[in-house]
Amino acid sequence: MQWQKLKPPEPDDPICCCECDLYQYGCCCDCEDLDEAFNRWLKVPSKSTFQSPVFGAMAENLEISLIPALLMLPLLLKVAALHYLLGITVLTALPGLVLWYYYATHRKKRRTLFFLTLALYSLAYMYYLFITEILPRGDVSQLQMCTVTSGMIFTIVSLIHTKKGPGFVTAALHNSHSQEDKKESTQVNNGSLQSAASPSGTPAELQTPKEGLGAKWSRCPLCKIMRPPRAGHCRTCGSCVQRLDHHCIWINSCVGQANHRSFLLTLSVFVLTSLYGISLVLCSLCPHQYLMTALFYCPGVYTQSSTALCFTCAWYSSIVAGGLLYLLVAQVLNISFNVTEREAQLALRNKTGQSRLWGLVVDTGEYSRGFYQNWVEFLTMTDASASPQSSLTDLV
C-alpha cells in the first residue's frame, strides 16, 4: 500500500503506522501482522499440554485486565480515603491510568471487557456503599431510595437493550434494497406512461423519480459487501455498521443505527441517577454545607473511615459523571446537527466541516435538515437489517 502525503486516508483503509512515512515512530510499530508474527515465533507446540475444550474457551475469553477492575478499585478508594492528599493523588492518577489503557487497547484495535467491567463494578460498588453506609444514617427517605434503585435498574435494562446490536450490514440488506429500487422504478415508469396517455396528468412530477440510493451505496474494502450511505467499517468489531457513530469502549460494542437511541437513553439515565445519588450522599455527609460547596469543603468528613470512604466515592462518581455528561452533551449536539462522530472526524480530516459551539460539534451540512427534522429522523430511524443474528443480545 502506498501512502500519499497530500491525500488523507480513507476511513476504512487499514493503514498502519509503519506504512506512513510521516509517522516519526514508525520503527516502533505494533501492527497486527507484527504481533501475529511474534506470537507464532514465541508459541512452542507441546504435546504434553493439557487439552480441554472448556479450558481452551476459558483461556480465550478470560482477560487478565478484569482483575485490576475487580480488585484494585476498592483498594484504591480505601487508600484515597485515608487522607485528603492521598485522595487527590489517587483520584488524579486513576483517570490517567484508564486513559492510558484506553489508548493502548484502541491502538491495537481490539475489543476488551475492561471498561464495561469497570463501569458495572463501579455502579454496583457505589450502590453497595449507599445501602450500607448512607441509608443507615437516616437522612435518605424511602422515596429517594426507590428513585436511586429505579435509576440503577433502568440503566442496566437500557444497557442490555443497547447491547443487542448496532445494526450490522449484511449482504441480504443490499439485495432487499435492490429489489425495492426495482419496484419503485417500475412504478415510476408505469406512472409516466399513464401520464403521457392522459393529457390531464402532470408528467413533470411523475417523471422525476426519487434519487436512487443504490448509486450512493459503496463497497467496503474489508468486508467486500455493499453498504448503505453513512455506514462505516469498525476495525475493532471487524464489521460494517449502519449509520456508524463510534465504537464505545464502555459498552464494548459499536453505536449505530439500531442502538443509538438506547445508547443515548442509557447515558441520560446514568448521568441523572449519578448526580442525584451524589447529591444525596453530600447532603447526608455535609448537612450544614451548600450542595455546590460540599464537594470541595466538608469539615469533619475524615474523622471516620466510613464517611471518608463515602466522600471519596462521591468524588469518584463526580469524575465519572462529569466525563459521561460531556459525552452526553456531544451526542445531543451531533444529533441536533444530524452528524455522527465518524462523519465529524472525517470532516475535520478532509477540512470539509465547520466547528461550532466552541468546537463541541462539527457541522458538515450534508444531512442536516433543521433542528426539528434532525431529531425526528433520529427518533424514527429503524434497523434495516432485521436479521435474527442482530437480535441476539451480546452481553459482553
Q: Which residues are catalytic?
A: 248
Count CA atoms within 13 Å of residue 387 on its CB side. 13
List Cβ<8 Å contacts ≥24 apart for 284-290: 284/134, 284/137, 284/139, 284/140, 285/310, 285/311, 285/314, 287/139
Gap between the Cα atoms of 356 and 362, Å rounded: 6
Q: 241 with 254: CB under 8 angstroms?
A: yes
Q: Please, which residues have CB within 8 angstroms of residue 244's CB and are 6 or more apart in sequence? A: 166, 230, 231, 232, 233, 234, 254, 255, 256, 340, 342
Over the range 326-339, which residues count as b (16 or more CB within 10 Å of their CB) and which as e?
ebbeebebbbbbbb
Q: 246 with 236: CB under 8 angstroms?
A: no
Which of 169, 331, 322 minimizes the C-alpha distance to 248? Answer: 331
Three-class SS state of 224: coil
Q: Please, which residues have CB within 8 angstroms of residue 196's CB and are 6 or more apart in sequence? A: 203
Q: Which cell is 95 given?
A: 483517570
Q: Which cell is 109 given?
A: 484495535
- Give residue 160's Cα distance to chain centre: 14
Q: Which cell is 99 given?
A: 486513559
Q: Which cell is 291 given?
A: 450542595
Q: 245 with 344: CB under 8 angstroms?
A: no
